[in-house]
Amino acid sequence: MLRSTDLIALPAVDCDKAYAMQFALEETLLTTQIVYFQVALLYPSVLLLRYTASCGERRIRVHTAAASVVADLGEMYRQADTGAVVSLLSRLAIEKSLSYKLEDARNAVQQKIVKALKEYRKLYSVQHRVGSRMIYPESLKYLPLYGLSLCKSTALRGGYADAQLDERCAAGFTMMALPVKKMLKLLYPSLLRVDEYLVKAPAVDDEFDRVCKRLPLVAESLDSRGIYIFDDGFRFVVWFGRMLSPDLARNLVEEDPATDFSRVCSF
């Protein structure tokens, strides 16, 4: 609950939650090379009873972060944090969907991304002679991908009839408090092929990371002779190809290779 422009009341805060804020500079231009942001988290006495023996005591945890000030707009783009940008856009879009149409929320995300990349293109269009090609900083090369994934997420996709209301509300509520890394994994999950790893004994501890490389989320990544793991941080799905080796299938699930796994769900 927002009590004022600089005070927010939270019912519960733990290590699995993160919150986003926007700052606006209303004073003169900065002349320093470093700026500092500070947030204070107040623990009321009611919560302290669970963790300390000091009844009625209040404690404050202070978080301080430093950021560099640059005069070159291009340098700001190069130092941009895609995870932070996507996390903020997600929260703004979900908040907008509460008062406007879902289509308006998706359009707002797309317009912000297009505007940001358009401004970057203006900086270097003459220097690089890009013509009609789109250019973007290395730091934001995955921003369009995450933006598209956000628009297709349960919280924002389609119309109000394209997802159950309780599922849409639960997804939006979850995304509003997700940390950056978990947000990115939810929007673009991991897809790994594991059958090649299972058929051979690992030689070293990091063999799994070398053999089971992350694959793009496209149909071309799936082979009917393989086994794949899909992980978005909340669901863990194992996909069995129709032409999987009978011996491998039997060793894994102790079932006949002709068993229909389409109705099996893993969480």
**pLDDT recorded at residue 204:** 60
Tell me the β-bridge partners of 227. Answer: 240
Distance CA 59, CA 62 (A): 10
**pLDDT recorded at residue 201:** 61
- Average of per-residue pLDDT values in the chain: 82
User: Does residue 155 contact residue 94 with C-beta atoms inside 8 Å?
Assistant: yes
Mean pLDDT, to the nearest integer, of 19-36? 82
User: Does residue 173 contact residue 98 with C-beta atoms inside 8 Å?
Assistant: no
**Number of Cβ atoms within 10 Å of the Cβ of 183:** 24
Q: Which residue has the tokens 């996507």?
A: 86
- Domain ranges in the chain are 2-69, 75-187, 190-253
**pLDDT recorded at residue 259:** 57
Mean pLDDT, to the nearest integer, of 149-169? 92
Tell whether the model's pLDDT for residue 187 goes beyond 90: yes
Please state which architecture CATH assigns to domain 75-187. Up-down Bundle (1.20)
DSSP 29: P
pLDDT digits (tens, 9 = 90+) for 192-223: 998 877 777 655 656 666 667 889 999 999 99
99 token code pair: 């008062």
Least confident of 168-177, 229-238, 244-253: 244-253
Q: Give the torsion through C-alpha atoms of 208, 213, 217, 220, to 10 deg.
A: -110
Band of pLDDT at residue 267, cut at 50, 70 and 90: very low
162 token code pair: 């394209």
